[in-house]
Structure 1
Amino acid sequence: MIDDFAKEYLHSDLREIRETMLWKLDGLGEYDIRRPLTSTGTNLLGLVKHLAIWESRYFGEVFDRPFPEPLPRWDDAGERGADMWATENETREEITDRYCRVWEHSAATITALAIDSPGYVPWWPRPNVKLFNILVHMLTETSRHAGHADILREHVDGATGTTAPHATPRHDSAFWEAQHTKIERAAKAAVTELGQERQPFTTPRVQPQ
């Protein structure tokens, strides 16, 4: 009973965060979903492409249930990084539709297998896994990139939130300029209060027993 609950709970959260990823593209033109928005080239459509490819692997070949469409190999050095951006010949629909087909393939794997079913991830240091590990991993990975997408979308047009019904209310530029100024002032005051010579804080690491 608890295994079925855990599997459905994780899968449900994964379904929700995937929808968030696609929503981040809504209302934007081709250039804005493709253009690099960080110094390393991170972009909105590239994040969706990346997640589609890697989810297809994790719920596919890891459990000997390969996704039935050709995708670049994970161990092909010539393809490294190509999953993080869209070429001029790849359409938005091509990438988002593939992502939705990957969801269907993943759902078939999740439904067919028990949560403790074994899998093998050849690119992990400890490659022997269970379906539970992969559900947690893909939920974590997708949530991480949804956070990236939220910040990228904010840079484009100020839109933030998880879904249309839960979008953050829009404010004008004067509101955000005042907010920015307030936070900047607090940051500078903290330096004065705490002293500029204070050593950067390092979070202590707990050593494994």
Structure 2
Amino acid sequence: MTDIQQPDDRHSNDPKAVLHRYLTRSRDAVLWKLDGLSEHDVRRPLTPTGTNLLGIIKHLAGVEAGYFGDCLGRPVPDMPAWYSEMMADTLEDNGDMWAREDETREEILDLYARVTAHADAVIEELALEDTGTVEWWGDAGTAVTLQWFLVHMIAETNRHGGHVDIVRELIDGAAGMRPDASNLPSNDVAYWETHQQRVQAAADHFA
């Protein structure tokens, strides 16, 4: 997709380019959290509500396909059956939030790549004031602008980005914002052990 303006052009002050850049960074961050993990680790639930890494990617693929695809009259081709069920509101609860045994890691990552590439093309094609319809938003879902879709998807991806941050840290202790900027004050294990102990001691004061 070399014909599409690169959304990571940090020198651009164009509002659409800025929003697109932040969305792209958010996508890259959630994908990075799967790097180096086993098939088991990317799938296993780490919270009582079943939060897991691969399921979050699957969910984000469905959400982007909905907002930047169907809602804007530009559906993503060849979507899996579960997506059609989700759009028809017949999918089982949380059916888009985990990977079944017959769904491979490669399939889900490829789906996310296809959906985000489709979304990038739609974002490039449309102006911020162009509109679509979000049926499940009720009366508020008429004449929704591309700008709203971008802001909503940035918020959605970053919310789940926080989830994958915590899940990855629970798996193997790996932490950080993105490969080129950890946003952490130290990588030293002893530092974090001491910090954790201080936080625990402060909490225990109120136990």
Same-fold status (TM-score > 0.5): yes
Aligned-partner residue type, residue 16 of structure 1: R
Aligned-partner residue type, residue 165 of structure 2: D
Question: Are residues 1:162 and 2:177 paired?
Answer: yes
Question: Are residues 1:9 and 2:11 paired?
Answer: no
| 1:135-154 alpha-carbon deviations (Å, 9 max, x no partner) | 00000000110111001101
Deviates more, 1:110-119 or 1:78-87: 78-87
User: TM-score scaled to structure 2, two decimals?
Assistant: 0.84
Aligned-residue Cα RMSD (Å) equals 1.7
Question: Are residues 1:127 and 2:141 paired?
Answer: yes
Match of 1:142 in 2: 157
Aligned-partner residue type, residue 135 of structure 1: L
Match of 2:7 in 1: none
Deviates more, 1:66-75 or 1:129-138: 66-75
Q: Distance in 1 between matches of 2:24 and 2:111?
A: 15
Question: Are residues 1:32 and 2:32 paired?
Answer: no
Question: Are residues 1:180 and 2:190 paired?
Answer: no
Q: 1:78 to 1:99 in 2, by over 3 A?
A: closer
Deviates more, 1:98-107 or 1:156-165: 156-165
Q: Is the 8 A contact 1:159 1:170 kept in 2?
A: no
| 1:74-103 alpha-carbon deviations (Å, 9 max, x no partner) | 233333311100011111111111111111
Three-state SS of the structure 2 residue aligned to 1:164 is coil
| 1:174-208 alpha-carbon deviations (Å, 9 max, x no partner) | 5444322211211233x38xxxxxxxxxxxxxxxx
Q: 1:80 to 1:74 in 2, by over 3 A?
A: farther
Instruction: Return 5+ residue gaps in structure 1 as ranges.
Output: 193-209
Q: How does 1:51-200 map to 2 (within 5 A)?
A: 51-70=60-79, 71-72=83-84, 73-125=86-138, 126-128=140-142, 129-167=144-182, 168=184, 169-172=186-189, 175-189=191-205, 191=206
Deviates more, 1:126-135 or 1:157-166: 157-166
Q: Distance in 1 between matches of 2:171 and 2:204?
A: 27
The structure that has the greater radius of gyration is 1
Instruction: Return 5+ residue gaps in structure 2 as ranges.
Output: 1-12
Three-state SS of the structure 1 residue aligned to 2:197 is helix
User: TM-score scaled to structure 1, two decimals?
Assistant: 0.83
| 1:98-128 alpha-carbon deviations (Å, 9 max, x no partner) | 1111111101111111101111000113112
Q: Distance in 1 between matches of 2:174 and 2:27?
A: 18
